[in-house]
């Protein structure tokens, strides 16, 4: 009963030619703990865009039905040499119906159910997924379950990390994003203080409407003062940033240090002893991150990635996180989409030029059978 | 028996005027655990230079006997606002003879002895120091004991940190520095692999002459390849950098990631899972630190400072480190000086323009009574 269906592949050649195209693929029968999922909905997350379009010039790309060919400029192309010549699948997560299952009890138990899953090739009509990572989504629609993994587990991961490090408050530099809204709801439920940075006043309004208390608008002249105030009020010396490039992390450290220095009774040439911790978990800006030496030596900046976190979290924590997502899929962890596109439509210029901008509140959902 | 002697003070006014001058100061009698030290020798370390000259324009400064007045340019001046108007002492460490002591047994035990100490105002003729931080230097000269604290404890601290994090190899980005040479000897004694980055071939020769095995010369065209080779050979995914500004940390992360990616069986858009850790422990370059998104998310960069490390290390570790320094003051932990200057001479243009360059092997020693 091997199934044949369309699947998206992305290939970057050494000369910088990026080819993203649909192919017909016959999927092997699931074995062991695998399930075969007929994919019904898969979101386009920022982390998917990295290998889908990356830094390619999409304005001048050559678009044809089910395919585009674009040029990856230098130095991005050279920096991507590890993937040169590799034909890669895309789509971290999605939801669909299990139509076949391997022998394991866990796999068999999912047969016929709708599940959220993390196949890594979710831009496909059929996927093989690991039953252990599938989340049965009950009566929820595929759209409701499509984003049940990456954003929910990342936002919950931040809270787990913060707690493990003894923090009572978190700073998030892109507060109004889909993930930022989830984090706002989670922190509210858990009694953690959250400082949200947003880029414009509408986003501040949106966040306040869902209960955010500390929202700081980057577009305002008094941004730095308000950010310092919010950190003073909450004690948020611990933050997460999906932008990466530029000076946002530096700004956060500066504001944290201002608050820490206010609390010192004596001047120190080395800055405050207050530990300041930031994590970069995305690359919305793929330019360099700039850090200035203006907040002493008591700071730490790390990359943060979901899978290593999950691997280190332990089964019990994971199970608790998954249960919470499942129980609150249409409330705390609800995602919203601007547009639905088919696999073919997601490769058109109109769609690509729009979703690659990753604007807040304008996430795309791929529906491979629509 | 209150003693009066010269002491150096540094004051930065809000308008950017930096005044560094000697004053006659009467030192209070030592109480409790304090000792009164007649200072005989104090090194000018990079960490001292920060408040001594910082980013000031020393070429156009106004020099007079026992004093200079310089202009601190913006934005450095604004970034230093926390010290505006404060009259600060300078000189982290030095050696001298204890001529009076507080009541405590520890203080009394040091009476008449030559000690290395960390008074924070070592550019003085008399200092009060904490007996707990004094290291009796036995028959050693004051010059031999003058640098017994900052560099030795920092180099030993790196090794303690690396061991605590399960590392068997360390990367050091300024291998030929006084501290780098100590670290080379320590790692050799302790069986740790050390990758040394140096700026020129003479420095590579110098390090190899004291037994360094992995020395990589930044001035060579094949620097990146050799650095990658050295990391591959040693497994040094853990490093220390006193430069701060620029791209040296970024380069180290890139080379670490190259080695990690070689070991991966499958391409990952997220880079390797290999944890990569760097610490910035100085600001030889006070410009911004630039990080490029080219080594995945498995990296962590922190500031590193000696005192917080010592505070967290625990008494037993500290005692062991101090004993080791004391036992090896003229071998493993030997420091070399280019020039001796009096307190007056250290404020002349000739001296300032020379020592502020912090060239390898050209450290100055202040001798307040010479």
- What is the distance in angstroms between the CA of the first residue and the CA of the last residue of chain B? 23
> Residues of A259-271 as b/e, b for ≥16 C-beta within 10 angstroms?
bbbeeeeebbbbb
- Mean per-residue pLDDT, B270-278: 94
Closest CA in chain B for residue A90: B269
Whether B66 and B347 have beta carbons less than 8 Å apart is answered as: yes
* Chain B neighbors of A261, CB-CB under 8 A: 82
Size of interface A-B (CB pairs under 8 A): 98
What is the predicted pLDDT for the residue at B11?
97
**Chain segment A38-48, per-residue pLDDT in tens:** 999 999 999 89
pLDDT band at A1 (very low <50, low <70, confident <90, very high): low
* Chain A neighbors of B51, CB-CB under 8 A: 269
Residue A246 confidence (pLDDT) above 90: yes
What is the predicted pLDDT for the residue at B270?
87
Q: Which of B50, B288, B302 faces A292 most closely, judged by CB atoms?
A: B288
Task: Please tell me the distance from the alpha carbon of residue B94 to that of residue A363, in angstroms, as a whole number.
Answer: 62
Q: Which of A82, A269, A297 faces B51 most closely, judged by CB atoms?
A: A269
What is the predicted pLDDT for the residue at B1?
66
Q: Which two three-digit tokens encode residue B121? A: 């105002």
Residue A329 confidence (pLDDT) above 90: yes
Contact A301 B305 (CB under 8 A): no
Instruction: For domain B151-308, give the CATH number.
Output: 3.40.50.720
pLDDT band at B2 (very low <50, low <70, confident <90, very high): confident
What is the predicted pLDDT for the residue at A359?
87
* Chain B neighbors of A120, CB-CB under 8 A: none
Closest CA in chain B for residue A264: B82
pLDDT band at A248 (very low <50, low <70, confident <90, very high): very high
**Chain segment A222-237, per-residue pLDDT in tens:** 999 999 999 999 999 9
Contact A281 B297 (CB under 8 A): yes
* Chain B neighbors of A246, CB-CB under 8 A: none
Q: Which of A51, A301, A308 faces B298 most closely, judged by CB atoms?
A: A308
Task: Please tell me the distance from the alpha carbon of residue B130 to that of residue B106, in angstroms, as a whole number.
Answer: 10
Residue A343 confidence (pLDDT) above 90: yes
**Chain segment B172-219, per-residue pLDDT in tens:** 999 999 999 999 999 999 999 999 999 999 999 999 999 999 999 999
Q: Which residues of B touch A (CB under 8 A)?
A: 47, 50-51, 79, 82-83, 86, 88, 244-245, 250, 261, 267, 269-270, 273, 280-281, 283, 286, 288-294, 296-305, 307-308
Q: Which CATH superfamily is domain B3-147+335-366 in?
A: Medium-chain alcohol dehydrogenases, catalytic domain (3.90.180.10)
Global pTM value: 0.93
Mean pLDDT over the full length of chain A: 95
What is the predicted pLDDT for the residue at A231?
98
For chain A, give every domain's residue range.
3-147+335-366, 151-308
- Measured from the Cβ of residue B15, the count of other Cβ atoms closer than 10 Å reads 9
Interface confidence, given as ipTM, is 0.92
């Amino acid at each position: 009963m091997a199934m044949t269906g369309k699947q998206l592949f992305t290939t970057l050649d050494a000369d910088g030619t990026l080819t993203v195209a649909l192919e017909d693929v016959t999927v092997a029968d699931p074995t062991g703990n695998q399930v075969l999922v007929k994919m019904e909905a898969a979101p386009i997350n920022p982390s998917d865009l990295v290998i889908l379009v990356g830094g390619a010039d999409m304005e001048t790309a050559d678009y044809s039905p089910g395919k585009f060919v674009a040029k990856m400029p230098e130095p991005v192309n050279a920096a991507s040499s590890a993937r040169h010549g590799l034909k890669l699948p895309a789509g971290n997560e999605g939801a669909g119906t299990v139509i076949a299952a391997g022998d394991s009890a866990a796999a068999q138990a999912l047969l016929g159910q709708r599940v959220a899953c993390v196949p890594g090739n979710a831009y496909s009509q059929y996927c093989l997924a690991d039953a252990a990572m599938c989340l049965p989504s009950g009566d929820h629609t595929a759209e409701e379950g499509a984003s049940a993994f990456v954003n929910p587990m990342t936002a919950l991961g931040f809270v787990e990390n913060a707690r493990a490090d003894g923090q009572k408050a978190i700073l998030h530099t892109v507060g109004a994003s889909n993930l930022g809204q989830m984090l706002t709801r989670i922190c509210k439920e858990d009694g953690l203080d959250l400082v949200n940075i947003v880029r414009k006043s509408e986003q501040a309004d949106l966040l306040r409407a869902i209960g955010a208390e500390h929202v700081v608008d980057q577009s305002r002249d008094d941004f730095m003062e308000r950010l310092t105030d919010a950190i003073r009020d909450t004690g948020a010396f611990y933050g997460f940033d999906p932008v990466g490039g530029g000076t946002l992390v530096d700004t956060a450290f500066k504001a944290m240090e201002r608050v820490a220095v206010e609390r010192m009774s004596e001047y120190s040439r080395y800055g405050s002893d207050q530990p300041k911790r930031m994590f970069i978990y995305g690359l919305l800006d793929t330019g360099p991150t700039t850090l200035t030496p203006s907040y002493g030596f008591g700071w730490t900046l790390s990359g943060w990635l979901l899978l290593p976190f999950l691997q280190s979290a332990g089964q019990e924590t994971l199970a608790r996180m998954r249960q919470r997502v499942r129980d609150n899929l249409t409330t705390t962890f609800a995602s919203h989409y601007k547009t639905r596109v088919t696999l073919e439509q997601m490769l058109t210029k109109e769609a690509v030029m729009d979703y690659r901008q990753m604007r807040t509140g304008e996430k795309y959902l791929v529906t491979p059978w629509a």
